Structure 1
Amino acid sequence: MGYNSGGMEVILTHDNADFDAVASLLGAAKLFPEAVPVLPRRVNRNCRAFLSLYGAVLPFVEPDDLPRRRRITRAILVDTQGLTTLKGMKRNLAVDIIDHHALDRTLPPTWTFSGETLGATTTLLTEEISARAIELTSVEATLLLLGIYEDTGSLSYPSTTSRDVRAAAWLLDQGANLSVANEFLHHPLAPQQWELYERLLEGHESHEVAGHTVIIAAAETEGYSEEISTLAHKLRDLLEPAALFVLVGLNGARRVQLVARSDTEAIDVSQVAVHFGGGGHPQAAAALIRNRSLESVRRELLALLPKVVRPGVTVAQLMSRGVQVLAPETTVAEAAERMRRTGHEGYPVVADGRVIGLLTRRAVDRALQFEMADVPVTQVMEAGSVTVGVDDSVEHLQRLMIESGWGQIPVVAEGRIVGVVTRTDLITLWGTPETPPRRHEVAALLERSLPAPTLALVRRISQAANEMGYVPYFVGGLVRDLLLGQSIVDVDIVIEGDGVALARRLAAEMGGRVRTHRRFGTAKWLLEPEVWERVFPQEGRPRTGQPAEGQPAGGQP
């Protein structure tokens, strides 16, 4: 395990380690059995409780138990990009970083980085463990599952990816125990934590910044400053803001601890932490601010937010304009006829320019079933005055829909209705667009699908066309066969430009014969086998042994 050689390799993570950090230590130890997984000096309380029960069957080593006279020659950092100094570390230490956040620093020559933006670092390591078919005990699988679950909110945070879900599923197949995981994910708070949590909850402020709900929770404490991140997670789960900033002032020490969390790409909380002398990642960051009062930090944070929060989607960007409304005296039959003609699912009911209710198609259908066609809509509508403003955030709109039960809400500006926004608008906003094929993926597909001689010919035609200022396109069956993964029989190319001129240039440069069809603006370029071998000596002859035929065309294939 790294003790017996002249140099020692260690696996390290960040202080105040959560389950993703501790699980990543285990995952790296499974992949690099020659390295020693070293626990940090401070571990979150729920992690420490897990280790007190199951640590005897896990490979972790406390810092004080490391051999004192063994030189450390290599460090593997997991779930962090900062190196914790240990005794025995050599200068120019080889350091390998494995992290699920983007690289945020320039690395020294002896450092390497491997990672991808996923919900948890544990996911990266679990994928490699699975790929190598490394066996896990039930305890090991459960700890790895805890690492993924805690950092992804049990696979519910926006940062969660399909790979996190697949990794968690694989761990369940390896014997991970959900009951045990649930017990430690919802570990009860200690009395001091509860006291601070209640003060933070009582003193939290909600601010709308550029269309996002940002919450600042601030409180003083007599001395408890551990695991503020645990309280931040609980506050975020309860309040559901776009971003949360927890400020804890340490009485008498003139120090303020900042912990920040973000659920949207529009708010990079690491920018705030860096401003206050800390650091982190776009979704999670922290700072310890010295020689400042809690109130002065809170005021500075409020002033900073508009500079770091990018505008979010507002009601104005979602709503439909030119909304139709109903007068209170409109009958159910008249409303039903209007719904039939327009296809609308509901109408605001307005009296003297003020919304007094919402009439839905469901209410109309029920009224007609009970033979209430001639009664005014005020008797069957959902009464109330629920509206939003054009500059309100999507988060505010969503809360209003949930609280009121209204599926469509009138939009008001300067005292008059200017539009309506519906649940369908929200669904459209949240819909995942198809990812268009990336250019390098299509190029790789061509290289795999086309025979080498044909690919060489296509590249030469493309190069010549580009030099003449023309744009070449594939057309015909090749496009279909390429996307379906079928064998490609022939290649048709259309040139945006003079196809005849291009064919003649190709023949002049490389040989062959040209047959033109001026009337149609097309040309055939014929290459005899001996010419082909001279032009493309490394590619061999075309498969048929017949003359190679290129057909650039102008306008039409």
Structure 2
Amino acid sequence: MQLILTHENADFDAVASLVAAHKLYPTASPVLPRRVNRNVRAFLSLYGPSLPLVEPNTLPRGQHVQRVVLVDTQKLSFVRGMGKDIAEVLVIDHHHPPESKPQNWRFQCDQVGAATTLLAEAISSRLIPISPAEATLMLAGIYEDTGNLTYTSTTPRDLRAAAWLIDQGADLAVATEFLDHPLTPAQQQIYEGLREHLDIVEINGHPIALSWAESPPDTEEEISTLAHKLRELVEPSALFILVQLGENVQLVARSTTDDLNVAEVSEHFGGGGHDRAAAALIKGRSAQEALEELRDLLPKYVRPRIKVRDIMSFGVRTVRPTNSVADVARRMLQTGHEGFPVIDETGQVIGLVTRNAVDRAIQHGLKDQPVRRIMQHGTHAVHPDDSIERVRTLMIQTGWGQIPVVSGDQLVGVITRTDLIRLKPSAQAADRKRIAHLMEQAIPAPVLKLIREIGSAAAKQGYRLYFVGGLVRDLLLGQPVFDIDLVVE
């Protein structure tokens, strides 16, 4: 017997992966978990009869399991008739594989937005036909795990897979209908409790939303939907909700920043997930107890937020309101700058003059006019310790493409749209993951643990820690690391 399994509390990505894996391994039975999210169950009530899913209580007993294909999870759950002596386990997942792998386990893991994407790619490459119902289910799987292709974990591969599924007859209207499901009365009661106990704390410059609630007796409601709804209400960098379910607590975590991997936090409580979405079932605890432990734990996992001082340009050039347009145009040509802050005789910022404004003025024969005639008036500025979000908001509100940076009454620099674009969060995250993987391969685990402890201590004191010397070369070349040199800034 061969089985295809996924995790309990299965979402669309998990169930879609079951069906997709069955297309690749048709002799294996895709077993529906005992607990399935409510919107998925509603979809299956209409389209389930046309899908090859098997209920766990229908499996025969006493059969030897030759292979288990595990999708959208790396934790093996045992089902009826399944012994512990399994010849082979194949994991197909979009999360990082574990550092230590069991001998008879194989991993096909890649960093994409949804596990369904990996399977849809394989189905497409093998020219295996799928039905419109299967295509719609798979599309819902990709859409749910990528936030309708908007989460930063979304990759071009997810978009291509979604487009291919639509080509195969996926009904976008049906998929989105089941993704946007109304709350049940019990969910509404839990949501009101979460709103009542909501607390926003700042950790290393990040607003983190924490909340807890109690579930009505004898209910098993989907909690992840409430996390998304609450996150839209407050827009934090990360959200952690804890819901009391009898004697246990369900933890659901979501993140919108690369500075906090919520899977690492969930693993502390015996759960898991990926960088931006994770969960854990905390047994034998109260929600308040788990919340206090979480508060103490989070500073160890939240990296300091990028500040204006980290990406600003120092030594900014300025002009006076009495400077002529022609003079400013000449300075722009010499420096290549797209604009200058305008300051008064006391050094206070009173406006901004841009290249576009200068070019238009010259075209209209105003080159001898003072800059105050064409500048954008305003005293808008940020401070070196302000967040990047503050800069983005100010640029949107004012239309200024560069914002002066002041410390006290002193103009110390400028931050531009180009500075923000260069951040490229997704590229930075990918680089961090690649470098972390290289470190795990080349540096012994005890030494790597020590390095991370040193890095955490440095971050708490506002210092930066750098690798220098031959270690950098050896990491990039995949060579063994024999000595480690660190520099603290």
1:400 aligns with 2:394: yes
The one of 167, 176, 179 aligned to 2:170: 176
1:81 aligns with 2:74: yes
Could you tell me which residue of structure 2 aligns to residue 119 of structure 1?
A: 113
Change (3 A) 1:11 1:200: same
SS at match of 1:389: coil
Distance in 1 of aligned mates of 2:318 and 2:110: 51
1:357 aligns with 2:351: yes
Tell me if the contact between 1:204 and 1:215 (Cα under 8 Å) persists in the aligned partners: no
Could you tell me which residue of structure 2 aligns to residue 152 of structure 1?
A: 146
Change (3 A) 1:412 1:201: farther
Bigger Cα displacement from structure 2, 27-36 vs 291-300:
291-300
- Equivalent residue runs for 1:130-209 within 5 Å: 130-194=124-188, 196-197=190-191, 200=194, 204-206=198-200, 209=203
Distance in 2 of aligned mates of 1:407 and 1:30: 51
1:227 aligns with 2:227: no
Could you tell me which residue of structure 2 aligns to residue 543 of structure 1?
A: none
Could you tell me which residue of structure 1 aligns to residue 11 of structure 2?
A: 18
Tell me if the contact between 1:215 and 1:245 (Cα under 8 Å) persists in the aligned partners: yes
The one of 260, 280, 294 aligned to 1:267: 260
The one of 286, 302, 305 aligned to 1:309: 302
Distance in 2 of aligned mates of 1:303 and 1:399: 31
Bigger Cα displacement from structure 2, 22-31 vs 375-384:
375-384
Distance in 2 of aligned mates of 1:405 and 1:198: 38
How many Å apart are 1:191 and its aligned residue?
4.2
Bigger Cα displacement from structure 2, 415-424 vs 13-22:
415-424
- Equivalent residue runs for 1:87-486 within 5 Å: 87-94=80-87, 95-104=89-98, 106-194=100-188, 196-197=190-191, 200=194, 204-206=198-200, 209-210=203-204, 213-223=206-216, 226-236=221-231, 241-242=236-237, 244-250=238-244, 256-290=249-283, 294=287, 297-328=290-321, 330=323, 335-336=328-329, 338-351=331-344, 352-365=346-359, 377=371, 380-430=374-424
SS at match of 1:113: strand
Tell me if the contact between 2:197 and 2:213 (Cα under 8 Å) persists in the aligned partners: no
> Which 5+ residue runs of structure 1 have no aligned equivalent?
1-7, 439-557
Q: Which has the higher contact order (CA 8 A, sep 6+)?
A: 2
What is the TM-score with the length of structure 1 in the denominator? Answer: 0.67
Change (3 A) 1:321 1:248: same
Give the counterpart letter for 1:406 in structure 2: W
The structure number with the bigger radius of gyration is 1
Distance in 2 of aligned mates of 1:299 and 1:398: 33
How many Å apart are 1:393 and its aligned residue?
3.5
What is the TM-score with the length of structure 2 in the denominator? Answer: 0.76
Give the counterpart letter for 1:181 in structure 2: A
Identical pairs, percent: 55
Distance in 1 of aligned mates of 2:378 and 2:192: 34
How many Å apart are 1:58 and its aligned residue?
0.5
Could you tell me which residue of structure 2 aligns to residue 519 of structure 1?
A: none
SS at match of 1:91: coil
How many Å apart are 1:129 and its aligned residue?
1.3
RMSD (Å), alpha carbons: 3.4
Could you tell me which residue of structure 1 aligns to residue 39 of structure 2?
A: 46
Tell me if the contact between 1:356 and 1:383 (Cα under 8 Å) persists in the aligned partners: yes
Distance in 2 of aligned mates of 1:387 and 1:297: 41
Give the counterpart letter for 2:50 in structure 1: V
Distance in 2 of aligned mates of 1:78 and 1:24: 6
Tell me if the contact between 1:73 and 1:89 (Cα under 8 Å) persists in the aligned partners: no
SS at match of 2:422: helix
